[in-house]
């Protein structure tokens, strides 16, 4: 039974929503209501096997745990873009690669988010199994570990050796600042279980009387009165209703957070009018100028004796603007129904310049929007990605222990996305910024956005660890939000 009122309503029980709900309900005097559109679970044992098991990515066409959006990567390449829609969100279904943003990434953030300021939160969220010392936490909820070389898949070892031979620096800890190079990826996995904020933060505190989680509950609109967010309109099992609150925190993810703002009349005023939505506040940056990582996938075949494996990615190579990912398994084996039969080597552009926008349907603004990535519109991006593909082909040529002779098909590489969407409601103090440095929506009291939408730009690594850090740090503000 959902309450009529909560001190804080959190919209979206994904990676950030789970962290916020757990931390804000640490104070028994504060009532917290977490609303999640997808299914919810009342205990760890109720979480389905495919969400726990890191050997599966339950994001295929039949998955009940995700939403698929239409995406246009370039004028010539379309894609289906997946986001989690389940308690735990995208973090509950992701690749479990838990790597921090680099110190230089935070130069694009407001000063309150310098690397020195965020490091304590990166430490507090983790329990690093391999490293201790001033860079690492030992008692946080998220276990972070790396696969030891002797347990690695032959592809991971062969790739590391090829990168070594090509002169790249070995890096034991990719979560430490320092030179770029090749090394084992940090994973939020314990005993084969994808240990996301759902399992690590939220489920252990579900018994709290001041915390309510409403699964199967969609927030349709934020209610704003006299410049202040005062509640939400929802559709749940009992139909539509309104819940009042002292504060609304939107953590609906990088697609749905800007969409919910738009449906609530907060966004570019011309666009709102065109969509037939009564404007509440003109914020031109909503849904505009986002970034994500373009990823070229080079198909090849394993030699017949190479075994199948369970952790999709064990090592990565970083250069100034690229990440090379030797996936250990064909996507078709871990993503039911994905249809990708060959193994691939991923070439990721980590600091893209091109920016995308979310396009709403003029006939039905409540329908799934189109994600218009505009990848590679900046010629420098295309050049850098092409260079990355050449580097990858060279490395694959040195991996003949595992790669079947003649099977690397650079010409059949296809452009994809790493699903690291960021910056659809970005943080800052310029005209296009949507939230201030503490994630408050500019121009509206009592309303925050806390998820990867607010990243000023996509970090040069996977965003998950940085998203968890963001939510952890914002929650420290508590009533001062």
Instruction: Give the contacts of 42 (CB within 8 A, at least 6 positions apart).
Output: 206
Which of 34-42, 122-130, 158-166, 402-410 is the region at the interface with ligand FAD (rule: CB under 6 A)? 34-42
Q: Does 392 bind ligand FAD (CB under 6 A)?
A: no
CB atoms inside a 10 Å sphere around CB 207: 9
Q: How far is the CB of 218 from ligand FAD (least distance, A)?
A: 4
Q: 201, 293, 309, 420: which one is catalytic?
A: 420
> For ligand FAD, which residue of 52, 464, 472, 473 counts as binding (CB under 6 A)?
464
Q: Does 287 bind ligand FAD (CB under 6 A)?
A: no
Q: Does 188 bind ligand FAD (CB under 6 A)?
A: no
Closest CA to 221 of 194, 190, 195, 248: 248
Q: How far is the CB of 400 from ligand FAD (least distance, A)?
A: 28
CB atoms inside a 10 Å sphere around CB 357: 16
Which of 140-148, 272-280, 393-401, 457-465 is the region at the interface with ligand FAD (rule: CB under 6 A)? 457-465
Helix/strand/coil for 248: strand
Q: Does 195 bind ligand FAD (CB under 6 A)?
A: no
Q: What is the token pair recorded at 93?
A: 């279904």
Angstrom distance (rounded) from CA 83 to CA 66: 6
Footprint of ligand FAD on 41-60 (CB under 6 A): 57, 59
Q: How far is CA 135 from CA 115, 127, 187, in A?
A: 11, 11, 16
Q: Does 185 bind ligand FAD (CB under 6 A)?
A: no
Q: What is the token pair recorded at 216?
A: 């199967």
Helix/strand/coil for 278: coil
Q: Does 428 bind ligand FAD (CB under 6 A)?
A: no
Footprint of ligand FAD on 77-116 (CB under 6 A): 82-86, 89-91, 93-97
Q: Does 14 bind ligand FAD (CB under 6 A)?
A: yes
Closest CA to 307 of 164, 155, 416, 191: 155
Q: How far is the CB of 320 from ligand FAD (least distance, A)?
A: 20
> Considering CB under 6 A, how many residues would be counted as binding ligand FAD?
42
> For ligand FAD, which residue of 16, 163, 322, 458 counts as binding (CB under 6 A)?
16
Q: Could you confirm whether 420 is annotated as catalytic?
A: yes
Helix/strand/coil for 414: strand
The gap from C-alpha 408 to its chain's centroid, in whole angstroms, comes to 30
Q: How far is the CB of 16 from ligand FAD (least distance, A)?
A: 3
Choice between 93 and 211, CB closer to ligand FAD: 93
H or E, element range at 35: strand 32-35
Crossing angle of the two packed helices 154-165 and 379-397, in degrees rounded to 10 = 110
Q: Does 143 bind ligand FAD (CB under 6 A)?
A: no
- Per-residue burial over 12-23, b if 16 or more Cβ lie within 10 Å, else e, is bbbbbbbbbbbb
Q: Does 419 bind ligand FAD (CB under 6 A)?
A: yes
Beta strands (DSSP E) in 313-376 are 315-318, 322-326, 344-349, 356-359, 370-372
Q: How far is the CB of 42 from ligand FAD (least distance, A)?
A: 16
Binding-residue pattern over the window 232 to 271 for ligand FAD, x denoting contact by CB under 6 A: -------------------xxxx-x---x-----------
Angstrom distance (rounded) from CA 26 to CA 122: 19
Choice between 67 and 407, CB closer to ligand FAD: 67
| Catalytic residue annotation | 420
Q: Which residues bind ligand FAD (CB under 6 A)?
A: 11-17, 35-38, 57, 59, 82-86, 89-91, 93-97, 218-219, 251-254, 256, 260, 419-420, 451-452, 462-464, 467
């Amino acid at each position: 039974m959902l309450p009529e009122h909560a001190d804080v309503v959190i919209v979206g029980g994904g990676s950030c929503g789970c962290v916020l709900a757990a931390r804000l309900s640490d104070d028994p005097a504060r009532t917290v209501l977490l609303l999640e559109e997808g299914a919810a679970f009342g205990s760890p044992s109720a979480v389905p096997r495919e969400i726990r098991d890191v050997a599966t990515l339950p994001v295929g066409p039949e998955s009940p745990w995700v939403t698929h959006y239409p995406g246009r990567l370039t004028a010539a390449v379309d894609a289906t873009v997946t986001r989690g829609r389940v308690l735990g969100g995208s973090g509950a279904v992701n690749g479990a690669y838990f790597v921090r943003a680099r110190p230089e990434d935070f130069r694009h953030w407001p000063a309150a988010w310098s690397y020195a300021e965020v490091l304590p939160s990166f430490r507090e969220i983790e329990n690093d199994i391999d490293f201790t010392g001033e860079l690492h936490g030992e008692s946080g909820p998220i276990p972070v570990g790396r696969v030891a070389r002797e347990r690695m898949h032959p592809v991971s070892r062969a790739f590391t050796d090829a990168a070594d031979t090509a002169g790249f620096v070995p890096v034991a800890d990719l979560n430490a600042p320092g030179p770029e190079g090749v090394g084992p990826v940090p994973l939020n996995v314990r005993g084969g279980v994808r240990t996301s904020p759902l399992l690590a933060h939220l489920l252990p505190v579900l018994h709290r009387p001041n915390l309510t989680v409403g699964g199967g509950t969609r927030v349709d609109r934020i209610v704003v009165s006299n410049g202040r967010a005062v509640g939400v309109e929802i559709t749940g099992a009992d139909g539509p209703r309104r819940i009042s609150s002292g504060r609304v925190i939107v953590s609906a993810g990088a697609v749905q957070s800007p969409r919910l703002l738009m449906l609530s009349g907060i966004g570019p005023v011309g666009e709102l009018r065109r969509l037939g939505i009564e404007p509440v506040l003109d914020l031109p940056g909503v849904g505009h100028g986002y970034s994500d990582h373009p990823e070229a996938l080079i198909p090849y075949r394993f030699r017949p004796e190479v075994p199948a494996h369970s952790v999709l990615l064990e090592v990565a190579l970083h250069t100034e603007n690229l990440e090379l990912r030797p996936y250990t398994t064909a996507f078709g084996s871990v993503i039911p129904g994905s249809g990708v039969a060959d193994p691939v080597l991923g070439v990721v552009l980590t600091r893209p310049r091109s920016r995308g926008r979310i396009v709403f349907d003029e006939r039905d603004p409540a329908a799934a929007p189109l994600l218009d990535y505009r990848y590679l519109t900046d010629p420098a991006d295309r050049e850098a990605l092409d260079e990355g593909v050449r580097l990858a082909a060279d490395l694959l040529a040195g991996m003949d222990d595992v790669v079947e002779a003649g099977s690397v098909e650079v010409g059949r590489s296809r452009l994809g996305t790493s699903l690291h969407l960021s910056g659809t409601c970005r943080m800052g103090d310029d005209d296009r910024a949507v939230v201030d440095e503490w994630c408050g929506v500019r121009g509206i009291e009592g309303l925050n956005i806390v998820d990867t939408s607010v990243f000023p730009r996509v970090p040069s690594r996977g965003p998950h660890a940085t998203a968890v850090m963001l939510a952890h740090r914002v929650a420290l503000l508590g009533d001062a939000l």
